[in-house]
Amino acid sequence: MASIIDIKDECALHVRDFEFTYKGAAAPSLKKVSMPIAKHSVTALIGPSGCGKTTLLRSFNRMHDLYPGNTYNGEIEFEGRNILNPKEDLIHLRTKIGMIFQKPTAFPMSIFDNVAYGMRLQGIKNKSELEGRVEKALQDAALWKEVKDRLKHDANGLSGGQQQRLCIARAIAVEPEVLLFDEPTSALDPISTQGIEKLVIELKERVSIIIVTHNMQQAARVSDYTGFMYLGELIELGHTEELFVTPKEKLTQEYITGKFG
């Protein structure tokens, strides 16, 4: 049986008996997943490829809805409502729950316009407000010093690590409550990876973070809670230290010691 710790602090999200089935699939890819996501902390999701961690992550901002035919069951509670409700306003939801992707996704426009994009979508037109918030977001993403003299340049001229920080700046500029990171450093070199990890730890002061990673050291370095997933089930969720040092489940222990995966 799964071993899920009970989080006493306030929670950002509550997953209850969540099941997800891809279009045309016979069996659900996620089976009865239940977990709390602590507020203002980092929760890492680990597990072998195909275990459903990215599928779970992409459920939090209903990214699966871009491809019709997938079905959700169960409940994901956010701000007092079930966001799996078909009537949920996805545009509003996605401004509250932002996402950073595996590969940097700089839009084909200037650095400034990239960061301002989400704010402009929300109807902010005032130039000085935009400028102020773009600078703030870039500073928070530790990118301001590198780009402040070339805000009008094409964002695709930045390096991979810079582009990923640009994406983080773009996501935090709209002041979300939750940030989802989908293997954000798997396309980056070690030094850029360090920068992103440092940023994740700093950002948890303001947002709740869920990060999917293939790298167990990364999970150990950045996260407060870690969930181990296997074959569509959440096997164990615990404080990161405890999970890595004294896992309660045999499967977890076998995975973190490298017996499979």
Partner 1 sequence: MTAVQKRIIINKLALAFSTLSAIIALAFLFWILGVLVMKGVHALNWNIFIYEGSPPGYAESGLKHALVGQLILVGLATFIGVPLGILAGTYLSEYGKNSKLAHTIRDISDIMMSAPSIVIGAFVYAVVVMPMGHFSAWAGAIALAIIMIPVILRTTDDMLQLVPGTLREAAFALGAPKYKVIIDIVYRGAKAGILTGVLLGIARVGGETAPLLFTSFNDNFFTTDLNEAMPSLTVTMFNYAISPYDDWQQLGWAAAFILSMFILGLNIMGRLILLMGKRK
Q: How far is the CB of 4 from partner 1 (least distance, A)?
A: 27
Does residue 94 bind partner 1 (CB under 8 A)?
A: yes
From candidates 1, 27, 66, 191, binder to partner 1 by CB under 8 A: 66
Cβ distance to partner 1 smaller for residue 155 or 222: 155
Does residue 63 bind partner 1 (CB under 8 A)?
A: yes
Q: How far is the CB of 187 from partner 1 (least distance, A)?
A: 11
Does residue 117 bind partner 1 (CB under 8 A)?
A: yes
Cβ distance to partner 1 smaller for residue 146 or 154: 154
Does residue 156 bind partner 1 (CB under 8 A)?
A: yes
Cβ distance to partner 1 smaller for residue 2 or 63: 63
Residues in the interface with partner 1 (CB under 8 A) total 27
3 state SS for the chain: CCEECCCCCCEEEEEEEEEEECCCCCCCCEEEEEEEEECCCEEEEECCCCCCHHHHHHHHCCHHHHCCCCEEEEEEEECCEECCCCCCCHHHHHHHEEEECCCCCCCCCEHHHHHHHHHHHCCCCCHHHHHHHHHHHHHHCCCHHHHCCCCCCEHHHCCHHHHHHHHHHHHHCCCCCEEEEECCCCCCCHHHHHHHHHHHHHHCCCCEEEEECCCHHHHHHHCCEEEEEECCEEEEEEEHHHHHHCCCCHHHHHHHCCCCC
From candidates 29, 59, 95, 252, binder to partner 1 by CB under 8 A: 95
Does residue 188 bind partner 1 (CB under 8 A)?
A: no
Please report, as ranges, the residues that interact with partner 1 according to CB under 8 A: 61, 63, 66, 91-95, 98-99, 101-103, 105, 107-109, 117-118, 121-122, 154, 156, 167, 170-171, 174
